[in-house]
Copies of this chain bind each other. A is one copy, B any other.
Amino acid sequence: VDTLVNDVHFYSTSSSFDIGYKSLAVSLSDIASMGGLPRWATLALTLPAIEHDWLDGFAKGFGEIANKYGISLVGGDTTQGPLSITVQVMGTVNRGQSLLRNGALPGDLVYVSGYLGAAGLAQKLLAKNREEQSIPPLCLERLNRPEPRLELGQQIRTLANACIDISDGLAADLNHILQSSDVAAQVHLSMLPICRELAEIEDKDEVWQIALATGDDYELCFTIAKDKKDELESNTKNSSDLLSCIGEITKGEGISWLDEKSDVLKLKLDPYQHF
Protein backbone atom coordinates (compact mmCIF):
# COMPACT_ATOMS: atom_id res chain seq x y z
CA VAL A 1 0.00 0.00 0.00
CA ASP A 2 1.35 3.40 -0.98
CA THR A 3 0.04 6.91 -0.47
CA LEU A 4 0.89 9.71 -2.88
CA VAL A 5 0.47 13.19 -1.43
CA ASN A 6 0.18 16.40 -3.44
CA ASP A 7 3.44 18.44 -3.56
CA VAL A 8 5.33 15.55 -1.98
CA HIS A 9 5.01 12.62 -4.40
CA PHE A 10 3.72 14.56 -7.38
CA TYR A 11 3.19 18.19 -8.33
CA SER A 12 -0.24 19.70 -8.78
CA THR A 13 1.00 20.76 -12.22
CA SER A 14 1.30 17.06 -13.19
CA SER A 15 -1.41 15.83 -15.51
CA SER A 16 -4.05 13.77 -13.74
CA PHE A 17 -3.34 10.97 -16.28
CA ASP A 18 0.22 10.79 -14.96
CA ILE A 19 -0.93 10.94 -11.33
CA GLY A 20 -3.34 8.04 -11.97
CA TYR A 21 -0.64 6.06 -13.77
CA LYS A 22 1.99 6.62 -11.11
CA SER A 23 -0.31 5.91 -8.17
CA LEU A 24 -0.80 2.34 -9.35
CA ALA A 25 2.75 1.94 -10.76
CA VAL A 26 4.48 2.50 -7.42
CA SER A 27 2.43 -0.18 -5.66
CA LEU A 28 2.99 -2.60 -8.56
CA SER A 29 6.71 -1.96 -8.13
CA ASP A 30 6.51 -3.36 -4.60
CA ILE A 31 4.86 -6.52 -5.92
CA ALA A 32 7.58 -6.77 -8.62
CA SER A 33 10.29 -6.55 -5.95
CA MET A 34 8.83 -9.59 -4.18
CA GLY A 35 8.53 -11.65 -7.37
CA GLY A 36 4.74 -11.51 -7.10
CA LEU A 37 2.00 -11.54 -9.69
CA PRO A 38 -0.27 -8.51 -9.11
CA ARG A 39 -3.99 -9.28 -9.22
CA TRP A 40 -6.29 -6.81 -7.46
CA ALA A 41 -6.16 -3.17 -6.43
CA THR A 42 -8.19 -0.80 -4.27
CA LEU A 43 -8.14 2.97 -4.65
CA ALA A 44 -8.83 5.49 -1.88
CA LEU A 45 -9.04 8.95 -3.38
CA THR A 46 -9.17 12.14 -1.31
CA LEU A 47 -10.08 15.19 -3.39
CA PRO A 48 -10.67 18.86 -2.54
CA ALA A 49 -13.59 18.94 -5.02
CA ILE A 50 -15.13 16.91 -7.83
CA GLU A 51 -13.55 18.06 -11.11
CA HIS A 52 -14.78 15.90 -13.95
CA ASP A 53 -11.89 16.61 -16.35
CA TRP A 54 -9.34 15.84 -13.68
CA LEU A 55 -11.10 12.60 -12.72
CA ASP A 56 -11.45 11.57 -16.34
CA GLY A 57 -7.70 11.93 -16.89
CA PHE A 58 -6.93 10.17 -13.61
CA ALA A 59 -9.18 7.23 -14.51
CA LYS A 60 -7.56 6.93 -17.95
CA GLY A 61 -4.03 6.89 -16.51
CA PHE A 62 -4.96 4.42 -13.75
CA GLY A 63 -6.87 2.31 -16.28
CA GLU A 64 -4.01 2.23 -18.77
CA ILE A 65 -1.54 0.62 -16.39
CA ALA A 66 -4.23 -1.56 -14.77
CA ASN A 67 -5.11 -2.99 -18.19
CA LYS A 68 -1.47 -3.39 -19.19
CA TYR A 69 -0.82 -5.68 -16.24
CA GLY A 70 -4.28 -7.25 -15.90
CA ILE A 71 -5.14 -5.69 -12.53
CA SER A 72 -8.80 -5.61 -11.38
CA LEU A 73 -9.92 -2.60 -9.35
CA VAL A 74 -12.00 -4.33 -6.66
CA GLY A 75 -12.84 -1.58 -4.20
CA GLY A 76 -12.35 1.98 -3.14
CA ASP A 77 -13.40 5.05 -1.24
CA THR A 78 -13.80 8.71 -2.18
CA THR A 79 -13.50 11.40 0.46
CA GLN A 80 -13.21 15.16 0.54
CA GLY A 81 -9.95 16.65 1.76
CA PRO A 82 -6.45 17.67 0.62
CA LEU A 83 -5.53 15.76 -2.56
CA SER A 84 -4.00 12.37 -1.77
CA ILE A 85 -4.20 8.92 -3.28
CA THR A 86 -3.75 5.58 -1.56
CA VAL A 87 -3.51 2.46 -3.70
CA GLN A 88 -3.22 -1.04 -2.35
CA VAL A 89 -2.27 -3.89 -4.65
CA MET A 90 -2.73 -7.51 -3.71
CA GLY A 91 -0.83 -10.19 -5.59
CA THR A 92 0.06 -13.83 -5.39
CA VAL A 93 3.32 -15.76 -5.24
CA ASN A 94 4.04 -19.44 -4.82
CA ARG A 95 4.27 -20.33 -1.15
CA GLY A 96 7.80 -19.79 0.16
CA GLN A 97 9.02 -18.19 -3.09
CA SER A 98 8.53 -14.50 -2.35
CA LEU A 99 11.68 -12.41 -2.68
CA LEU A 100 12.57 -10.75 0.61
CA ARG A 101 15.18 -8.29 1.82
CA ASN A 102 16.85 -10.52 4.31
CA GLY A 103 18.48 -13.24 2.19
CA ALA A 104 21.65 -11.52 0.88
CA LEU A 105 24.84 -13.51 1.55
CA PRO A 106 28.54 -12.53 1.45
CA GLY A 107 29.83 -13.30 -2.04
CA ASP A 108 26.52 -12.44 -3.78
CA LEU A 109 26.66 -10.16 -6.79
CA VAL A 110 24.59 -6.95 -6.57
CA TYR A 111 22.49 -6.03 -9.62
CA VAL A 112 20.33 -3.07 -10.52
CA SER A 113 17.86 -2.77 -13.40
CA GLY A 114 17.47 0.16 -15.81
CA TYR A 115 19.08 3.56 -15.30
CA LEU A 116 19.50 5.54 -12.10
CA GLY A 117 18.72 9.20 -11.53
CA ALA A 118 16.41 9.94 -14.47
CA ALA A 119 13.34 10.57 -12.32
CA GLY A 120 15.50 12.30 -9.70
CA LEU A 121 16.91 14.71 -12.29
CA ALA A 122 13.42 15.59 -13.54
CA GLN A 123 12.30 16.12 -9.94
CA LYS A 124 15.23 18.44 -9.17
CA LEU A 125 14.57 20.51 -12.29
CA LEU A 126 10.84 20.77 -11.49
CA ALA A 127 11.71 21.85 -7.95
CA LYS A 128 13.77 24.67 -9.51
CA ASN A 129 10.55 25.78 -11.23
CA ARG A 130 11.72 24.62 -14.63
CA GLU A 131 8.87 24.12 -17.09
CA GLU A 132 8.03 20.51 -17.99
CA GLN A 133 8.85 21.25 -21.66
CA SER A 134 12.47 22.12 -20.83
CA ILE A 135 13.11 18.85 -18.98
CA PRO A 136 14.66 15.90 -20.86
CA PRO A 137 11.57 13.92 -21.99
CA LEU A 138 12.94 10.52 -20.95
CA CYS A 139 13.61 11.82 -17.44
CA LEU A 140 10.13 13.31 -17.15
CA GLU A 141 8.66 10.03 -18.42
CA ARG A 142 10.52 8.08 -15.73
CA LEU A 143 9.29 10.50 -13.04
CA ASN A 144 5.66 10.60 -14.15
CA ARG A 145 5.15 7.08 -15.48
CA PRO A 146 7.56 4.73 -13.75
CA GLU A 147 7.36 1.22 -15.15
CA PRO A 148 7.15 -1.54 -12.53
CA ARG A 149 9.71 -4.26 -13.28
CA LEU A 150 7.18 -7.07 -13.01
CA GLU A 151 8.68 -9.26 -15.72
CA LEU A 152 12.12 -9.02 -14.14
CA GLY A 153 10.66 -9.85 -10.73
CA GLN A 154 9.28 -13.08 -12.19
CA GLN A 155 12.57 -13.90 -13.96
CA ILE A 156 14.70 -13.56 -10.81
CA ARG A 157 12.16 -14.97 -8.34
CA THR A 158 13.85 -18.34 -7.90
CA LEU A 159 17.39 -17.01 -8.46
CA ALA A 160 17.86 -13.92 -6.30
CA ASN A 161 18.66 -14.08 -2.60
CA ALA A 162 17.27 -10.63 -1.79
CA CYS A 163 15.47 -7.89 -3.68
CA ILE A 164 14.03 -4.40 -3.16
CA ASP A 165 12.58 -1.72 -5.38
CA ILE A 166 14.33 1.64 -5.35
CA SER A 167 11.95 4.31 -4.12
CA ASP A 168 14.21 6.31 -1.79
CA GLY A 169 17.41 5.99 -3.84
CA LEU A 170 19.87 3.13 -4.28
CA ALA A 171 21.91 4.09 -1.19
CA ALA A 172 18.94 3.94 1.21
CA ASP A 173 17.25 0.93 -0.37
CA LEU A 174 20.37 -1.21 -0.78
CA ASN A 175 21.03 -0.39 2.88
CA HIS A 176 17.62 -1.90 3.73
CA ILE A 177 18.80 -5.17 2.18
CA LEU A 178 22.14 -4.96 4.01
CA GLN A 179 20.56 -4.27 7.39
CA SER A 180 17.91 -6.96 7.00
CA SER A 181 20.54 -9.48 5.87
CA ASP A 182 23.25 -8.35 8.34
CA VAL A 183 25.85 -7.93 5.57
CA ALA A 184 27.78 -5.13 3.78
CA ALA A 185 28.28 -4.22 0.11
CA GLN A 186 31.03 -2.88 -2.13
CA VAL A 187 29.64 -0.89 -5.02
CA HIS A 188 31.76 0.25 -7.99
CA LEU A 189 30.72 3.78 -8.92
CA SER A 190 31.96 3.25 -12.50
CA MET A 191 29.57 0.32 -12.92
CA LEU A 192 26.46 2.29 -11.92
CA PRO A 193 24.03 2.76 -14.82
CA ILE A 194 23.70 6.54 -14.43
CA CYS A 195 21.21 7.97 -16.92
CA ARG A 196 22.93 9.84 -19.75
CA GLU A 197 21.37 13.26 -19.09
CA LEU A 198 22.51 13.11 -15.47
CA ALA A 199 26.00 11.76 -16.24
CA GLU A 200 26.67 14.90 -18.34
CA ILE A 201 26.39 17.19 -15.30
CA GLU A 202 29.81 18.45 -14.20
CA ASP A 203 29.22 18.72 -10.46
CA LYS A 204 29.87 15.08 -9.48
CA ASP A 205 28.55 15.59 -5.94
CA GLU A 206 25.20 16.49 -7.49
CA VAL A 207 25.37 13.51 -9.85
CA TRP A 208 25.83 11.07 -6.95
CA GLN A 209 23.19 12.81 -4.88
CA ILE A 210 20.60 12.50 -7.66
CA ALA A 211 21.63 9.00 -8.79
CA LEU A 212 21.90 7.47 -5.34
CA ALA A 213 19.81 9.47 -2.87
CA THR A 214 16.95 11.26 -4.63
CA GLY A 215 14.85 8.20 -5.36
CA ASP A 216 11.74 7.59 -7.43
CA ASP A 217 13.70 5.24 -9.72
CA TYR A 218 11.41 2.22 -9.19
CA GLU A 219 14.12 -0.07 -10.51
CA LEU A 220 14.92 -3.37 -8.79
CA CYS A 221 18.10 -3.92 -6.80
CA PHE A 222 18.84 -7.57 -6.04
CA THR A 223 21.61 -9.92 -5.01
CA ILE A 224 22.34 -13.41 -6.40
CA ALA A 225 24.93 -16.06 -5.72
CA LYS A 226 27.80 -15.96 -8.25
CA ASP A 227 27.02 -19.45 -9.55
CA LYS A 228 23.52 -18.29 -10.61
CA LYS A 229 24.96 -15.64 -12.95
CA ASP A 230 24.68 -17.73 -16.13
CA GLU A 231 21.09 -18.71 -15.33
CA LEU A 232 20.24 -15.05 -14.72
CA GLU A 233 21.69 -14.06 -18.07
CA SER A 234 19.85 -16.84 -19.86
CA ASN A 235 16.52 -15.99 -18.08
CA THR A 236 16.74 -12.32 -19.01
CA LYS A 237 18.41 -12.46 -22.44
CA ASN A 238 15.16 -11.67 -24.32
CA SER A 239 14.31 -8.74 -22.05
CA SER A 240 14.75 -5.19 -23.27
CA ASP A 241 15.51 -4.01 -19.72
CA LEU A 242 19.13 -3.21 -18.92
CA LEU A 243 20.68 -5.19 -16.07
CA SER A 244 23.93 -4.00 -14.46
CA CYS A 245 26.16 -5.83 -12.00
CA ILE A 246 27.33 -3.03 -9.69
CA GLY A 247 29.19 -4.78 -6.91
CA GLU A 248 29.33 -7.54 -4.33
CA ILE A 249 28.00 -8.42 -0.90
CA THR A 250 30.63 -8.75 1.83
CA LYS A 251 30.71 -9.32 5.59
CA GLY A 252 30.33 -6.24 7.77
CA GLU A 253 27.93 -3.36 7.50
CA GLY A 254 27.09 -0.42 5.23
CA ILE A 255 28.00 0.38 1.63
CA SER A 256 31.58 1.05 0.47
CA TRP A 257 31.56 3.16 -2.69
CA LEU A 258 34.65 2.29 -4.78
CA ASP A 259 36.28 4.53 -7.39
CA GLU A 260 37.99 3.28 -10.56
CA LYS A 261 41.09 2.25 -8.59
CA SER A 262 38.85 0.36 -6.14
CA ASP A 263 39.68 2.89 -3.45
CA VAL A 264 36.84 3.74 -1.05
CA LEU A 265 35.33 7.15 -1.84
CA LYS A 266 33.50 9.17 0.85
CA LEU A 267 30.26 10.35 -0.78
CA LYS A 268 28.31 13.23 0.75
CA LEU A 269 24.77 11.92 0.31
CA ASP A 270 21.82 13.74 1.77
CA PRO A 271 19.25 10.97 2.30
CA TYR A 272 15.59 11.37 1.32
CA GLN A 273 13.75 12.74 4.36
CA HIS A 274 10.26 11.31 4.82
CA PHE A 275 9.62 13.89 7.60
Could you tell me which A residues sit within 8 Å of B by CB distance?
1-6, 8-9, 42-44, 46-47, 49-50, 75-82, 84, 86, 88, 90, 274-275
Contacts and interface: CB of A to CB of B under 8 A. Distances in A.
A46 B3 contact: yes
A212 to B, nearest CB: 22
Contacts of A46: 3, 5, 84
Number of identical protomers: 2
A42 to B, nearest CB: 4
A76 B44 contact: no
Given A49-B275, A88-B88, A90-B90, A81 B8 contact: yes
A77 B78 CA distance: 19
Contacts of A77: 1-3, 86
Nearest to A30: B75
A5 B80 CA distance: 8
A6 B81 contact: yes
B2 A78 contact: no
A78 B1 CA distance: 10
A1 B79 contact: no
8 contacts: A1-B44, A1-B88, A2-B77, A44-B86, A49-B275, A77-B86, A80-B274, A84-B84
B80 A82 contact: no
A49 B80 CA distance: 21
A77 B46 CA distance: 16
Contacts of A81: 3, 5-6, 8, 82, 84
A47 B82 CA distance: 12
Given A5-B81, A46-B84, A78-B274, 19 more contacts: A1-B76, A1-B77, A1-B86, A2-B77, A3-B77, A3-B86, A4-B79, A5-B79, A5-B82, A8-B80, A8-B81, A9-B79, A75-B88, A77-B86, A79-B84, A79-B274, A81-B84, A82-B84, A90-B90
Contacts of A88: 1, 42, 44, 75, 88
B50 A3 contact: no
